[in-house]
Amino acid sequence: MHARLARYTFSGNAQELAQKAEEGILPTFKSLPGFKAYTVVESDGEIFSFSAWETTEQAEAADIAVKDWVAENLAGDVQLTESHFGDILISSTLGVSTTAGARV
């Protein structure tokens, strides 16, 4: 399982931006192959997002889709500061474990 992690600065109300993401980004992600999960967190004046995908290629495709959506719908409110991809090593929510065949 693979992840896309993103960090954003923002202006305005974080809860309102999260609602826009839930109404726009989440359906976009759900329409893409390999989608598993999406989380948005606000901390110390920044927004962090996490999405989980079956493959790295699917996570990278989602990155392009979300960048396009943000540019069209949140330009001026949200600024991407960094984006990363990685392997999910353990997740109790997604059932990923370091023990072969084990479910968390």
Q: What is the pLDDT of residues 41-56, one digit of tens each?
A: 999 999 999 999 999 9
**pLDDT average, residue stretch 63-67:** 91
Q: Mean pLDDT over residues 3-18, rounded?
A: 94
- For residues 20 and 70, give the distance between their C-alpha atoms in angstroms, rounded to a whole number: 10
* DSSP 3-state of 45: coil
Q: Which pLDDT score, from 0 to 100, does residue 102 have? A: 52
What is the set of domains in the chain, with CATH numbers? 2-87 (3.30.70.100)
DSSP label of 91: B
pTM: 0.87
For the chain, give the mean pLDDT. Answer: 92
CB 80 within 8 A of CB 70: yes
Q: Which amino acid is at 91?
A: S
